[in-house]
Amino acid sequence: MKHVSPLQAASETKVRVPTRRALAKQQTRGKVLAAARRLFSEQGYEGATIRDIASAAGMSTGAVFANFTDKSDLFREIMVSDLAALAESMREAGAKGRTLEDSLLRIFTAGYAFYKSQLPLARAAFSVSWSPEEGQPLRSSPQVQALYDLIAEHLEAAIQRGELGQEAEVKLRSQMLFEAYLSNFPQAIFQGWSLEALQGRMRDQIRILLAGARRG
């Protein structure tokens, strides 16, 4: 049997280069998403129409529908992309914490800061993405699950360090902490609360939700 070195195998492996058509479609999607993000930020979800988005992207409505099923599909794509970036930002923030409470507060503060920098889009996201009709699929998405998992990871680590008892009910407390984090968004988005005010409220919520799980 002829021996094939890894180098030879690599050189003989066909590399799939995107076709011109695939590249063009990718560019079209990018333009549509950029235009949609801007219009959703300026006009809200209801105010931005597919016709407006297509016009802002310099394309026909047919080109938009060739890439997205409808407006909700387009909006969801933007939210999923933001959630992936949000999860990374929150993970980096949590890694700098010294204790469980410190880590959780850093995680949630990073979440508020992420959306405070783009409030108009956050308003559209909150009014649409978390509603029963539009939001349930998004809330059960892998991107949102990653946020639950991040909180659970820190709770598990705290158990290992002895900060929390073994009966800390990680899954339930992760869900409760995440719901508390979400519950503050109306104040952040619609009432103009500062980041410091949000931190203070979240600090109290974390303390209360962890009170029954502390060791000793």
As its CATH architecture, domain 17-68 has Orthogonal Bundle (1.10)
Every domain of the chain and the residues it spans = 17-68, 70-213
Residue 69's pLDDT is 92
CATH superfamily for domain 70-213 = Tetracycline Repressor, domain 2 (1.10.357.10)
Instruction: Tell me the per-residue pLDDT of 151-207, one tens digit each, with 9 for 90 and over.
Output: 999 999 999 999 999 888 999 999 999 999 999 988 988 888 999 999 999 999 999
Instruction: Indicate the burial class of 16 (C-beta count within 10 angstroms; 0-12, 13-18, 19 or more).
Output: exposed
Ranges 25-29, 62-66, 106-110, most confident:
106-110
Instruction: Please tell me the total number of residues recorded for the chain in this structure.
Output: 216
How far apart, in Å, are the Cα atoms of 101 and each of 156, 191, 198? 13, 26, 15
